[in-house]
Amino acid sequence: MEEQKGKNKMLDKSMLIAALKESFLKLAPRDEIKNPVMFLVYISALLTTLLLGYSLFNIKDGIVTSGFIFSVAVILWLTCLFSNFAEAVAEGRGKAQAESLKAARKNVVAHKVDGITHKKTVDADSASLVKNDYILVNANEQIPADGEVIEGAASVDESAITGESAPVIREAGGDRSAVTGGTTVLSDWLIIKVTQEPGKSFLDKMIGMVEGANRKKTPNEIALEILLVALSLIFLLVTASLFTYSALSASILGVKNPISIIWLVALLVCLAPTTIGALLSAIGIAGMSRLNQANVLAMSGRAIEAAGDVDVLLLDKTGTITLGNRRAAEFIPVDGHAESEVADIAQLASLADETPEGRSIVVLAKKLYGLRGRTINDQHFKFVPFTAQTKMSGVDYAGIEIRKGAADNVAQYVQAAGQKYSTACKQVVEDISKKGGTPLVVTRDHEVYGVIYLKDIIKKGVKEKFADLRKMGIQTIMITGDNPVTAAAIAAEAGVDDFLAQATPESKLKTIREFQAKGHLVAMTGDGTNDAPALAQADVAVAMNSGTQAAKEAGNMVDLDSSPTKLLEIVKIGKQLLMTRGSLTTFSIANDISKYFAIIPAIFMNLYPQLQVLNIMRLSSPTSAILSALIFNALIIVALIPLALKGVKYREVAAKQLLNHNLLVYGIGGLVIPFIAIKAIDLCVSLLLGLL
């Protein structure tokens, strides 16, 4: 993982060199026209270059005029290059990750088998595999294609895809049956049914997305681009009108028109929203790159944007809100028995229980009463395994029968033997359920001794996270299979806004549709086939990489780490993308206002001396003012590239508060910084012009 992140560092030397080369290649008209605002600068640079050629062959224009036009032309070309550089750096980060993924895509030998008997038929090239083929993959062999495990269980190394070195278990049935081409079987064997056609594998999709080849502009991005184009057209009409107006005024006053074409070109470029126009594509690519670095594959830029607008989160309880495994918290005696007696028989009943819950019971008994030295190898112990029918487990030894299990099943067990199931025990069970815990009743020779309190452990810091999300206007809903009483207790302890108890595929789907009907954007995670309908309906659907193929196909994002908590990070990245775009748009428009005060008075002062009052920067000369504004217009793009790629600082506050903060920082900052920077550049330019 660290290696992958290292390849995505923004200031990597080789990446910057490649981006610099790409900046010149992107000067081709077919690339420039993709960005309408910067294409306007591109056309202006071409026009200025043609005017430079004309002035060089026109003696009466003189060296000074040619030098000024040359300076303007160079600055405009640099502006185009800086814009291309911003996009190339953003793309370079994705390409670096794509190269490591391509290394995992190898053409290997696939052992094809019969779909019914599973007997080997022929060895074939992995590139020849098609959907619904069946293949056998043995230990230490690479899985040649995406598919579903239909027989076998094996340890699989997925580090080529996820970057995580720890192997995972993939097996037939359940929600962990999906395998990805390019991963390696470490032990045992698997029979896999191919689920993707050649060239459409999960790895192919990943490479295409991180390279940016499949990146389409999002609706918000298109809408902003339309706004920027409209502003550019307005400024184009304004500039043309100013030229006509100045020519008419000069004719009336009987003087030569002081406004030249080159000055109007400079005015147009300075007034157009070139800053955000140059960085808009880089912001979108960088947002997807940040998501890739978080080990999440987004199937579209639209999904990332939607994550930023999400206001309802559906979160699984297990693994997201709780640690995932209930732990023994207390031994509660009933009917006159001692707590030590309950601990003793509870540990005996749990010696052979390899579940996390069973291990926690053994550990708690050791901790509280020093019960050690018992092992499952004791020949006197005859262990009774847990079954779905009995919902009990235990041990028989020396004529003693010890059991632990669900309250209702234990009640039937003791009553069938003629023993009583006391009201006191019922009350303890009810109290534990109300607290959000799981009660396990323990018995010895059909007599109830007490209850084990298994507690869901809420993850540290989760309550604070939900409070932060609430400040941002995001509603959190816990999804659990627990009964409503247990679900309510856990929801209260975790600090979620609401819960969906005894959740089924139908209830999840219904809940999402109800929220969407009210105008909300809903996000959820899932890993099983039964989650697919709800994932397909959700606006942001994060499927676990460890889950089924149906879940991954239904989602618009895939979490390669299969971490249920990743949804919170995805929302953060989506919001950061929107915040960055909004902040830099505010800064860009504010910049244009400041540049107006620099260049308008400089151009028209000779014709209208009264405009001197607008020259609040006290710039040295019209020539110096124009060059200073153009230089700032180009350099500010380079200065903002790190912010566009990294994103503005994420702040978990309400939308209104965030808007006010951005207006203050990027709005006022966008107004003030150009005044200071252009004045400083003017001093340098005027000094340089004086020396010449």
Q: Which 3-state string (H, E, C) describes 379-393?
A: CCCEEECCCCCCCEE
Please indicate, yes or no, if residue 353 is contained in any of the structural domains. yes
pLDDT reading at 490 higher than 80 = yes
pLDDT of residue 215: 55
Share of the chain above pLDDT 90, in %: 24
Q: Are residues 343 and 314 in the same domain?
A: no
pLDDT of residue 4: 41
Q: How far apart are CA 683 and CA 372, in angstroms?
A: 83
pLDDT of residue 567: 81
Mean pLDDT of the chain: 83
Q: Are residues 442 and 469 in the same domain?
A: no
Q: In this predicted model, which residue has the larger pLDDT, 472 or 282?
A: 282
Q: Are residues 485 and 407 in the same domain?
A: no
Quickly count: other Cβ atoms within 10 Å of residue 654's Cβ: 12
Please indicate, yes or no, if residue 651 is contained in any of the structural domains. yes
Amino acid at 95: K
Q: Are residues 662 and 586 in the same domain?
A: yes
Please indicate, yes or no, if residue 154 is contained in any of the structural domains. yes
pLDDT reading at 174 higher than 70 = no
User: What CATH number has the domain bearing residue 423?
Assistant: 3.40.1110.10
* pLDDT band at residue 469 under the 50/70/90 scheme: confident
Quickly count: other Cβ atoms within 10 Å of residue 28's Cβ: 9
pLDDT reading at 1 higher than 50 = no
CB 225 within 8 A of CB 39: no
Q: How far apart are CA 392 and CA 571, in angstroms?
A: 42
392 annotated as belonging to a binding site for a ligand: yes
Q: Are residues 227 and 251 in the same domain?
A: yes
450, 471, 499 — which closes off a domain? 450
Q: In what order do the strands lie in the sheet with 178-179?
A: 120-125, 109-113, 134-138, 189-194, 147-151, 178-179
Q: Mean per-residue pLDDT for 36-40?
A: 92
Q: Are residues 406 and 552 in the same domain?
A: no
Per-residue pLDDT reduced to its tens digit, 188-243: 889 999 988 777 766 676 666 655 544 567 777 888 889 889 988 988 888 888 77
Q: How far apart are CA 649 and CA 653, in angstroms?
A: 12
pLDDT of residue 211: 59
pLDDT reading at 63 higher than 50 = no
Helix 274-293 crosses helix 566-604 at what angle (to 10 degrees)? 170
Please indicate, yes or no, if residue 522 is contained in any of the structural domains. yes
Lowest mean per-residue pLDDT among 490-494, 509-513, 545-549: 545-549
Please indicate, yes or no, if residue 351 is contained in any of the structural domains. yes
pLDDT reading at 38 higher than 90 = yes
User: What CATH number has the domain bearing residue 186?
Assistant: 2.70.150.10
Q: Are residues 219 and 90 in the same domain?
A: yes
Q: Are residues 626 and 552 in the same domain?
A: no
Amino acid at 111: H
Tokens of 297: 């594959």
Calculate ∠ Cα 170-173-179, nearest 5°. 35
387 annotated as belonging to a binding site for a ligand: yes
Please indicate, yes or no, if residue 104 is contained in any of the structural domains. no
Residue with tokens 């009350």: 427
Please indicate, yes or no, if residue 606 is contained in any of the structural domains. yes
H, E, C per residue of 620-683:
CCHHHHHHHHHHHHHHHHHHHHHHHHHCCCCCCCCHHHHHHHHHHHHHHHHHHHHHHHHHHHHH
H, E, C per residue of 550-605:
HHHHHCCEEECCCCCCHHHHHHHHHHHHHHHHHHHHHHHHHHHHHHHHHHHHHHHC
Q: How far apart are CA 574 and CA 96, in angstroms?
A: 22
pLDDT of residue 462: 81
pLDDT reading at 532 higher than 60 = yes
Strand partners, 137: 190
The alpha helices in 212-300, defined as continuous H runs, are 219-253, 261-271, 274-293
390 annotated as belonging to a binding site for a ligand: yes
Q: Are residues 599 and 553 in the same domain?
A: no
* pLDDT band at residue 650 under the 50/70/90 scheme: confident
The alpha helices in 26-148, defined as continuous H runs, are 29-32, 36-56, 62-104
CB 171 within 8 A of CB 149: yes
Handedness of CA 666, 667, 670, 673 (dihedral sign): negative
| Total domains in the fold of the chain | 4
CB 161 within 8 A of CB 295: no
Torsion of CA 234, 236, 242, 244, to 10 degrees: -120
Q: Mean per-residue pLDDT for 21-26?
A: 92
Q: Mean per-residue pLDDT for 454-476?
A: 83
Tokens of 35: 């960005």
531 annotated as belonging to a binding site for a ligand: yes
Share of the chain above pLDDT 70, in %: 87
560, 587, 614 — which closes off a domain? 560
Please indicate, yes or no, if residue 201 is contained in any of the structural domains. no
CB 361 within 8 A of CB 484: no
Per-residue pLDDT reduced to its tens digit, 252-262: 766 665 677 88
Q: Mean per-residue pLDDT for 616-622?
A: 78
393 annotated as belonging to a binding site for a ligand: yes
pLDDT of residue 248: 76
Phi/psi for 688 (5° steps) reads: -65, -40
User: What CATH number has the domain bearing residue 553?
Assistant: 3.40.50.1000
388 annotated as belonging to a binding site for a ligand: yes
pLDDT of residue 102: 64
Q: Mean per-residue pLDDT for 668-676?
A: 90
Do strands 438-444 and 400-405 pair parallel, antiparallel, or not at all (unpaired)? antiparallel
Single out the residue of 143, 248, 156, 148 nearest to residue 203, CA to CA.
143
pLDDT reading at 687 higher than 70 = yes
CB 584 within 8 A of CB 640: yes
Q: Are residues 83 and 153 in the same domain?
A: no
Q: Mean per-residue pLDDT for 381-395?
A: 86
404 annotated as belonging to a binding site for a ligand: yes
Please provide the DSSP assignment of 263-284 as one string: HHHHHHHHHS-HHHHHHHHHHH
Strand partners, 333: 450
CB 401 within 8 A of CB 445: yes
User: E-assigned strands of 357-417?
Assistant: 382-384, 392-397, 400-405
Residue 249 CB contacts under 8 Å (≥ 6 apart), including other chains: 607, 608
- Alpha carbon separation from 688 to 601, 680, 685 (Å, rounded): 22, 13, 5
Per-residue pLDDT reduced to its tens digit, 420-457: 899 999 999 998 888 778 899 999 999 999 999 988 77
Residue 591 CB contacts under 8 Å (≥ 6 apart), including other chains: 275, 633, 636, 670, 671, 673, 674
Phi/psi for 187 (5° steps) reads: -145, 160
Phi/psi for 78 (5° steps) reads: -65, -35
Q: Are residues 84 and 230 in the same domain?
A: yes
Q: What is the DSSP secondary structure assignment for residue 376, as one 8-state letter? A: T
pLDDT of residue 27: 92
Q: Mean per-residue pLDDT for 16-22?
A: 87
**b/e map of 326-364 (b: 16 or more CB within 10 Å)?**
bbbbbbbbbeebeeebbbbbbbbbbbbbeeebbebbbeb
Per-residue pLDDT reduced to its tens digit, 301-360: 788 888 888 899 998 887 678 776 778 989 999 999 999 999 999 999 998 887 888 889
Tokens of 505: 């595929």
Residue with tokens 């040619």: 66
Q: Is 505 exposed, middle or buried (0-12, 13-18, 19+ CB in 10 A)?
A: middle
Q: How far apart are CA 425 and CA 450, in angstroms?
A: 7
* pLDDT band at residue 8 under the 50/70/90 scheme: very low
Q: In this predicted model, which residue has the larger pLDDT, 109 or 7?
A: 109
Catalytic residue among 146, 157, 316, 482: 316
79 annotated as belonging to a binding site for a ligand: no
Tokens of 543: 């499927």
Quickly count: other Cβ atoms within 10 Å of residue 368's Cβ: 14
CA 110 to chain centre: 34
CB 185 within 8 A of CB 138: yes
525, 560, 595 — which closes off a domain? 560
386 annotated as belonging to a binding site for a ligand: yes
The range of the structural domain enclosing residue 487 comes to: 299-321+459-560
Phi/psi for 575 (5° steps) reads: -65, -35
Q: What is the DSSP secondary structure assignment for residue 459, as one 8-state letter? A: P
Q: Mean per-residue pLDDT for 663-678?
A: 89
pLDDT reading at 99 higher than 70 = no
**b/e map of 40-62 (b: 16 or more CB within 10 Å)?**
bbbbbbbebbebbeebeeeeeee
Per-residue pLDDT reduced to its tens digit, 131-151: 889 999 998 898 888 888 888
Q: How far apart are CA 540 and CA 303, in angstroms?
A: 6
pLDDT of residue 7: 41
Q: Are residues 376 and 227 in the same domain?
A: no
Asked about 175 being catalytic, the answer comes back as no
